[in-house]
Every structure is written in structure tokens, then in C-alpha cells.
Amino acid sequence: MEHWMKYFLDHPFWFTLTAACLVWYSTITVYVAIRGVFDIRGMLKRLQADAPDANEDAAG
Amino acid sequence: MNMVAAFSIPIDGSIVGLYLIATMVAGIMVRKYVGKVEHFLMAGREMNVYLGIASLAATEFGIVTCMSQAQNGYAYGFAGSTPGICQAVAMMLIGLTGFCIKPLRDSGVTTIPEMFEKRFGPRIRWAAGVVIVLGGLLNMGMFLRMGGDFLVNIVGYSAANADPSAGPAMQFITTHALELTMTVLLLAVAVYTILGGMLSVLVTDFLQFVVMSVGLIAVTVLILVNVGWDKLVTTVDTKYGSGAFNPFANPLLGWSYVLFQILLNTAATLTWQTTIQRLLASKDTRTGRRIFTGTSFFFVCRFLIPGLWGMAALAMLAPSDVGDKTLLAMPKFLATVVPVGLMGLLVAAMLAADMSTDSSYMLTWGSVIYNDILAPFRKNRPPVSEKRGILYNRLIVALIGVFLLIYGLWYEMKGNLWDYLTITGTIYLASMSVLLVACCYWKRANNWGAAAAIVVGAIIPVAFLVLEKNWMVTNAAKKEVSWLSENGITSAIAGLAAFGCAIAAMIVGSLLKPKSASPSAAEPAA
């Protein structure tokens, strides 16, 4: 514990930023991974409903 | 240090193969939802927050980022991660305030030049498209090469390691490892990008975000455990002193570097086409802004994590193992420290990072070519059918892939990779950010100012790139060096000049145009 305190006190900015990166990345990955699945399912459902008619074929 | 790579074909190869199959299947399966050009380019503007965060994070972290930031960590210590902090702050502030991105998303355009047409006219739209593609493709030109270099070095299949006693097939593979890796990488990305467009890109980005994140965290923890925080800090402190922690105290960085990074990263947040494509593909403006704030801290990780890998390479490799190829120090180091099993995860993670970046970039520059550069040539012709429109876009993406392969093999990278990326990006970031801010918030801005800003903003970085490579002199140490760097004209100075001159050109050009002659009478979009 003591040496971690020393690392922090030596370079508080970079030590905190590195720790924050690891914590943020590991938590956000799990959260985004779960919520992202629902986003993909919703997006594909809406796109299926928006499928173009065979007659409707013109674009700019 | 033992420089033999730990890649095991049965174990690591299976992990990589499994990842590749999953990605390809997911990417190709969603192609059936692509029925319109808008589906191909913008995923029908149906993207929600978490998919947006995953996609933006995966797109903006490629092997090229990993290599360049590891090189910065190796060369400057922690101070090399300064650009990440600048970009994170810019993303957060712009997401919270909606500065420029709110009017941009509200306008319902597909690309930034399309918005410029409403204010500055069709010629400015076309010119903006040209500089965006010029800067974007030159910037992206190194992506495939860096992907190939990383993978070849980390797996250990390079010409230098060729075994003369091996069979002819194995000898061919090791001798042409770089070219083969680049080609396979390109083909894998091109197949699903060409078939499914943005939809495939988003779905594969999501998978790639998960694989990439797990790999990045695992390898960083491994490095911190094996090398140790104390050793990293002591090494950079001994080598670079206070300049390793403070960019202002670093003689190779300093005020000009930090100021340029602030401007560049703010401009990239506002106008970098891959970032903006996520904003424009989001289902509404609020979602777009939430994607910006939600992804902002990721940009610190994007720079600091590979920076730590580079510092670990500095701590663990002998200078003779690296030579002057500091770009390859990190993959060489990882090849020796990452064990079998984790190596497969690392390669899969880096493949994921690279494929998500390449696919998004190919699609995004393709969308500008189709929408803004080629559109004027279709104006007086019958409308293009949706099917034909998708076909044209697929062809453009394929051609960009061919360009990447040729440019990556031909262009010889000298000096710092991040400097190359920033100066090529500046070709359009300087002028496009000025145009966007003026378009949204300055009533007097007009097409004269816009044209002047585009020309000036592009000429300075292009001139820097050409002169730096071709204007060589012999210095006091009898070494051939660039005249520009010898005289203190760094990429940061050239970049700052480009931004400053683009702002001045927009103001002077707009004020010089008589008010009555203005064809762009539209009010600011905000």
C-alpha cells in the first residue's frame, strides 16, 4: 500500500490518469457491450420496417 | 533480450481465426438490410448512443494510433499523451454545448461539404470535398502499412526471420510477409464494407470494440505487472527528465506543440469525417451529443495506453534492439513479453482495432467522393437509382482499398508517425473547422472567405510535406536532414501557420467581398 502512495505522490496527475483509464475502460466495455446489443437489435428492426418498395427506386 | 515471438499457430492462430470468422459473418449477414444509399452511408440514421460510443471508439483506435502513440511514449514519455487530453476536453465541451455539432446534425446533411453548399454555394462544396478527400486519403495512406508492420513484427514472420531450411511456401510467406499481411487485411475489411456499408461497419465495430478493449486492458495489466510502474517512471525520468511528464518542459514539444494539439484536436472533433459520420448517423441531435460526451474520456485511453506500451519498450529493450526504428520498438517488445494465448487475444484485438478503423475510413471518404465530388457531374442527368447508387459507392470503396495498398507499400515513412498524421490531417482540418464555425455563427462569412481559407489551409501543410521530404541538407554531424527541421520549422509550426492563415483568409476574404455581390444570402445555420 505504501509504495502505491509513493507512486501517487511522485506523479499524481499521470498516476491518477493511468488508473482512471484502466477503471473507465474495463467498466465501460462491459456496460457498452450489453447496451450495444439492444441498440443493434433496435436499429435492424427499424431498418427492416424501412425497407424500400420494389417500385420506389430513385435516388438523387 | 530474447527477441523470439511467442505466437503459437494452433492456440493463438485459433483465437485469431475465431475472431475473423465471427467478424466476417456478422458483417456480411447485415448486408440484407441495405436497400438505399442512405442505409449504405448512414445506416438509415438509426444509430443509438451505446452503439455510437462503441463504433466511434473502435474507429478512432487503429493500429496506426497504437503505433504512433507508442512511438510518442518511447520518444517523449508521458508528455507524448498530451494530444489525448486535448481531444478528450474538446469532445466533452463540444458534446455538452453542442457547439457547431447541433446546427450540423439539425441540418440533416450527409457530409460537412453538403452543409457548406447551403451557405457558400456549390463550388465551395466541391472544393471542400476535394481537400477533405486529399487530406483524408493521405492521412489514411499509412494505415494498412502500419497494420502490416505491427502484425508481421509481433508474430515474427518477417524477411529478417526467414528460415533458409524451410519449404518454398514458408519461405515465400516469410519473405513477403508484409505484402501478404496487408493484402489479406485489406481483403477481409473490403468484403464486408463493400457489401454492407455503414451497417456492416457499425455491427463489426461493436464486436471489434469488445475484442479490442479486452485485449488492450489485458496487455496493459500484464505490462504494469511485469515491468512495473516504478520502472516505467524511472526510465522516462532518467532519459528525458521533467520533459517526460510536462510537455512544456520538453525541448522537442513545447508551447507550439501543445497549442497546435489543442487546435488540431478541437478541429478534428468538429470536422473529422469519421467522427462526424457518427454524429450524422445518430437517430437525433441529442443522441449525437451524448455519443460525444460518452466517448470523450476514451480519447485519453486512446493515447495513454499505447504510450505506456512504448515506455515499457524503452524500459525493457536495449537501444541496439531498436536502432533508429523507434516505430517498431513497441511490437518488438510485445512479441517478447506476451505469452501464448494472450498473444492470440492481442493479435485479434489489434486486428479488430485496425479493421474497424480501415472500414470506417474507407466508407467515410467514399461518401464524400460520391456525395460532394461526383454529385455535381450528375446534376443535369436523370436521377441515379438506389441500386446504382449503392453500386457506385461500393466501387469507390474498392478503389480506395487499392490506393491504400499501393500507397502503403510505396511511401517511405520518415520521422515521427504522429507528426505525419497531424500534418496530413491539417490539410483539411484547418480550413474545414474555420468554415464550419463561420458557417454556423458568423453572418458576414461568404464564399470569397471560404475559398481563400480552403486554399491557404491546404497549401501550407502540403508544402511542408513536400519540402520536408525533398529539401535535404547535410548538418554539422554530416547527417542528411530536412532543411525545415534543421531550421526549427516543425510540423507544429506549419500546422499553427495553416490554422492562423485559414482564419485570417476567411475574415479578410469575407470582408473584401462587396455585400451586394453575395450569392450566399442565407442566414447562419445556428
Least CB–CB distance from A44: residue in B33, B50, B210: B33
pLDDT of residue B83: 94
Task: Measure the CA–CA gap between B246 and B492, rounded to whole angstroms.
Answer: 17
pLDDT of residue A60: 35
pLDDT of residue A57: 43
pLDDT in tens, B418-447: 888 888 889 989 999 999 999 999 999 999
pLDDT in tens, B394-424: 899 899 989 988 888 887 777 778 888 888 8
Q: Which residue is it, cell 446534376?
A: B379
pLDDT of residue B162: 61
More confident of the two residues B118 and A59:
B118
B297 interfacial to chain A (CB closer than 8 Å): yes
- Cβ-based contacts of A60 with chain B (< 8 Å): 375, 383-384
B304 vs A35: CB contact, 8 Å cut-off? no
Q: Which residue is it, cell 515474427?
A: B156
pLDDT in tens, B41-68: 777 777 788 888 888 888 888 888 888 8
The greatest distance separating any two alpha carbons of chain A, rounded to the nearest whole angstrom, comes to 73
Angle between helices B254-271 and B82-97 (to 10 degrees): 40
B387 vs A22: CB contact, 8 Å cut-off? no
- Cβ-based contacts of A38 with chain B (< 8 Å): 50
pLDDT of residue A24 exceeding 70, the answer is yes
- Cβ-based contacts of A51 with chain B (< 8 Å): 33, 35
Task: Measure the CA–CA gap between B106 and B356, rounded to whole angstroms.
Answer: 27
pLDDT of residue A56: 46
Q: Which amino acid is it at A35?
A: R
pLDDT of residue B160: 63
CB neighbour class for B117 (10 Å; exposed up to 12, middle 13-18, buried from 19): buried
pLDDT of residue B526: 39
pLDDT of residue A58: 39
A40 vs B387: CB contact, 8 Å cut-off? no
CB neighbour class for B259 (10 Å; exposed up to 12, middle 13-18, buried from 19): middle
B386 vs A50: CB contact, 8 Å cut-off? no
C-alpha cell at B321: 534492439
Chain A residue at shortest CA distance from B30:
A44
Min Cα distance B39 → chain A (Å) is 8
pLDDT of residue B522: 45
Residues lower than pLDDT 70 in chain B: 1-6, 157-164, 516-526
Least CB–CB distance from A25: residue in B30, B216, B383: B216
A36 vs B308: CB contact, 8 Å cut-off? no
Q: What is the pTM of this model?
A: 0.84
Min Cα distance A20 → chain B (Å) is 9
Q: Which residues pair with B473 in a beta bridge?
A: B481
ipTM of the complex model: 0.81
Least CB–CB distance from A40: residue in B51, B300, B383: B51
Least CB–CB distance from A32: residue in B33, B85, B209: B209
Half-sphere exposure for B104 (CA within 13 Å, toward CB): 34
Chain A residue at shortest CA distance from B52:
A36
Quote the DSSP letter at residue B385: B
Task: Measure the CA–CA gap between B490 and B468, rounded to whole angstroms.
Answer: 9
Q: Which residue is it, cell 458483417?
A: B27
Q: Which amino acid is it at B395?
A: L
Contact B304, B84 (CB under 8 A): yes
> For chain B, how are helix, strand and coil distributed in percent, rounded to 5?
80, 0, 20
- Cβ-based contacts of A24 with chain B (< 8 Å): 297-298, 301
- Cβ-based contacts of B384 with chain A (< 8 Å): 58-60
